[in-house]
Structure 1
Amino acid sequence: MFSIILYVVGSLMHFYVADRVRRAAFLRERVRPGPWWLGAVLVWLVYIAGVRIGDEALDWRWWPGQFAMTWLGLLFVMTMCLLVADVLTGFGLWLRRHRPALIGIAAMAGLAIGAFGIWQAVRAPRVIEYEVMLDELPRALDGTVLAMVADLHLGAQRGPEWLAARVEQINALSPDAVVMVGDQVEGEPVRSELLPAVLQRLQAPLGVWAVTGNHEFYGDVAETLAEFEAGGVGWLRDGHATIAPGLVLTGIDDVGRAMRRGDDPARAVEPVLATRPDGASILLAHIPALPVVEQASRQGVDLMLSGHTHDGQIWPFNHAVKTRFPLVVGEYRVGAMTLIVSRGAGSWGPRMRLWKAGEIVKLTLRSPRP
């Protein structure tokens, strides 16, 4: 399905944008149709080649792959803007004299919005703060700080150097523990000798913990796990860790594969939660699938942390994502449980974000007031 979007929908948007921009007032009299369409076809061929090659490789293939993904995002934004101009002019049936100017304005708006989206994706993630009360958290742990990062998507777009800057951001929060909530990689392992050293710079006395996301399983998951373990990261794969007396982390493996098979993802959660130690309970689960959320609430989890949705990443896809994951981003109460879904620190596909930048989450845990 995604290949159809990349090849077919991407191509349709490409030639639609090329046709409309050629009609803009500032180009119509300056560029001849022949050279324009030759250039449009050449750019389209580069786009198709980039889609075919992919964007995970860290050699020369990185460039066409990155171009293809960025071009796809820009085409989408420009298509939306140009469609507005087409609707206003009845696709050329009225306001014919003003149509070239309106198309030119729409094209410039699309370029400006696309540039803003790219900037939002490449800028440093923002720090979002939450304060959560856990009923069973001991008084001695009141004020414990967790730094939560999701959807780093390390790979062609973001390597260890980018991660090093995120480590500095995280350390500035003085976290007691760091939790990485899935999709640490784009697919294939990072395969960089710099990665373990960067991860080892994380300063968290209660440890650095991670769960798998769907993207970990798109490549060699065993090698990815080993790379992060070499950096001091502890993986919670359907397991638990009592990181302090009375504070328990539980992590489940990605449920995306079960969902794609049509299985109930709650079945994977129930036995894991049933064996967790006593104490305030935090569940790390990459995908905030509603059956998982509801099962966790029924089994007395105090706090669930997820990512995966990217908050749609590019508006208006957040509305489409919400139809599949109703609890799409932010803080929710589900029974007695708090759920926090992060929009993620990185991005997937087009390196664009509209309208909000990526995020790193600072969580301050509170025990009940006496």
Structure 2
Amino acid sequence: MPWPLRMLARLIFPLILGIYLFVAWRFSRAITVLSGIPPWKIRLAVIAGVGYLNLLPILIWGAYLTGNGSRLFLHRPTTTLADYLITFPYWFGLILVVEVFPYFLTLEGLAWLLRLFPFSAGINLRMWKSALQVIIVIAVAGYVGARLYLDTFRVQIREVSVSVPHLPRELTDLRMAFFSDLQVDRYTRGSKLQRFESCWEEMSPDVVLFGGDLITHGQQFISPAAEALCRIHPPAARFACMGDHDYWANPRRVAGELSRCGWEFLEDRHMTFAYRGHTVLVTGITHIYSRPLSPAQLHQLLKNAPPAEVKILLVHQPAERVIQAARQYGYHLVLAGHTHGGQIVFRPFGFSLTPTQIENTFYSGYYEYEGMPVIVTNGIGLTLAPVRYHAPAEIVRIRLK
């Protein structure tokens, strides 16, 4: 069983099951209170709905237990009707119940507290609580559906201005664009790649930087993904570094296909380019799960960087020790990807929560580390889940000031 399917069937589904059962139980009771429909009919309908939304892990388990795992529609090179009927509904349901859960818990707690006060005797708390629960489910379902569509299928351009001490005036005109985690696969292709490519016509950057992860897995998508990047032709330079998925798929082929059409694929090396009489340095390092750069190697590389008016570090993973070293050796900007901005970010009561925060202090957006700017992009493609939520696909347009 491939690792994304193992994660889904053995970890995510069991963890979410308890939340699903609680939300389904309280929602069925709320409908019963408000509608007067016999409870058994409500329970049957809710069980059927929960069962449908969870067909995906059930099918995965069934296919692999019966030796038919390789025949799953998830292994096909393009999306199918089954994805729209089974895969996307599963992720919609998962996000819905996780978003609803804290509000249901809060309502339960408030209802319990109100019963302690005498004035609550004249209030039909059960009716009010049930009505609010139904309203919450309907409102959150509409929001989640719209947010999933917009964040998954659009590619937005995010503007970031970066302050560089003593920046030559000519370099304020330098237009840079940064993206990462293209991850072409059965979900990220076709129309989404077209939207990705159309962004370059709008931006017309002088320099393009790519933070790694050309594809998600396997080798069948390397060539079409590389072709999409080869159609990007900035006048000054194009730089790329190695990502985890590139390394797992075929690192030499990924680097070779990009280098063939003029990309500078930087694996622990420096490259400079000139812009209006000034020098800009880009240092690309390979710091990934399967090949982390040792502290000694990292410091030796950065210490020997050639002089430049602007020094940029390009890396896939936004590891804190890499960022610390960049600051120590006078870099002006760190660009990283890897995190997908969390890809699925829950926001109970406005607080952002995503598993990515466990691994990465820097997981999405613009940061400053002891005054040095750090940009971690949400990327373009997908890992594990075929959707994005509160982490829209993006390309970052960078201006120096």
The TM-score bracket by the shorter chain reads 0.7 to 0.9
Aligned twin of 1:72: 91
- Aligned to 1:340, what secondary structure does the other structure show? strand
CA distance change for structure 1 residues 185 and 17 in 2, over 3 Å: closer, same or farther? farther
Aligned: 1:115 with 2:123: no
TM-score (norm 1): 0.81
Aligned: 1:328 with 2:358: no
* Counterpart-to-counterpart distance in 1, 2:391 and 2:85: 21
Q: Is the 1:255–1:265 Cα contact (8 Å) retained in structure 2?
A: no
* Counterpart-to-counterpart distance in 1, 2:30 and 2:315: 49
Q: Is the 1:196–1:230 Cα contact (8 Å) retained in structure 2?
A: no
Q: Is the 2:239–2:263 Cα contact (8 Å) retained in structure 1?
A: yes
Q: 1:131 aligns with which of 161, 169, 177?
A: 161
Q: Is the 1:117–1:352 Cα contact (8 Å) retained in structure 2?
A: no
Q: Is the 1:47–1:68 Cα contact (8 Å) retained in structure 2?
A: no
CA distance change for structure 1 residues 344 and 116 in 2, over 3 Å: closer, same or farther? same
Aligned twin of 1:357: 392
> Structure 2 regions of 5+ residues with no counterpart?
1-5, 65-71, 116-124
Residue 306 of structure 1 deviates from its aligned partner by: 1.2
| Rg larger in structure | 2
Aligned twin of 2:281: 248
Aligned twin of 2:67: none
* Counterpart-to-counterpart distance in 2, 1:324 and 1:352: 20
Q: Is the 1:120–1:356 Cα contact (8 Å) retained in structure 2?
A: no
Residue 299 of structure 1 deviates from its aligned partner by: 1.3
TM-score (norm 2): 0.76
1:251 is matched by which residue type in structure 2? G
Q: Is the 1:55–1:62 Cα contact (8 Å) retained in structure 2?
A: no
Residue 36 of structure 1 deviates from its aligned partner by: 4.9
Aligned twin of 1:29: 37
1:359 is matched by which residue type in structure 2? E
- Aligned to 1:199, what secondary structure does the other structure show? helix
CA distance change for structure 1 residues 27 and 255 in 2, over 3 Å: closer, same or farther? farther
Aligned twin of 1:103: 133
Aligned twin of 2:119: none
Q: Is the 1:309–1:329 Cα contact (8 Å) retained in structure 2?
A: yes
Percent of aligned positions that are identical = 22
- Aligned to 1:237, what secondary structure does the other structure show? coil
Aligned twin of 1:293: 323
* Counterpart-to-counterpart distance in 2, 1:330 and 1:42: 36
Deviations 1:5-47 (A, max 9, x none): 3231243344444444433427772845446535643543433
CA distance change for structure 1 residues 328 and 83 in 2, over 3 Å: closer, same or farther? closer
Aligned: 1:153 with 2:172: no
- Aligned to 1:122, what secondary structure does the other structure show? helix
Residue 90 of structure 1 deviates from its aligned partner by: 4.7
Q: Is the 2:267–2:284 Cα contact (8 Å) retained in structure 1?
A: yes
Aligned twin of 2:346: 315
Aligned: 1:11 with 2:17: yes
Deviations 1:263-285 (A, max 9, x none): x8544422322333221321101
> Structure 1 regions of 5+ residues with no counterpart?
none
CA distance change for structure 1 residues 42 and 240 in 2, over 3 Å: closer, same or farther? same
* Counterpart-to-counterpart distance in 2, 1:336 and 1:45: 49
Deviations 1:63-120 (A, max 9, x none): 4599446623532332331442344135997733344323322221231221132123
1:315 is matched by which residue type in structure 2? F
Residue 124 of structure 1 deviates from its aligned partner by: 2.4
- Aligned to 2:126, what secondary structure does the other structure show? coil
Q: Is the 1:149–1:360 Cα contact (8 Å) retained in structure 2?
A: yes
1:58 is matched by which residue type in structure 2? P
Q: 1:47 aligns with which of 22, 32, 57?
A: 57
Q: Is the 2:180–2:211 Cα contact (8 Å) retained in structure 1?
A: yes
CA distance change for structure 1 residues 303 and 356 in 2, over 3 Å: closer, same or farther? same
Q: CA RMSD in A?
A: 3.5
* Counterpart-to-counterpart distance in 2, 1:183 and 1:28: 54
Deviations 1:246-274 (A, max 9, x none): 21211111333467xxxx85444223223
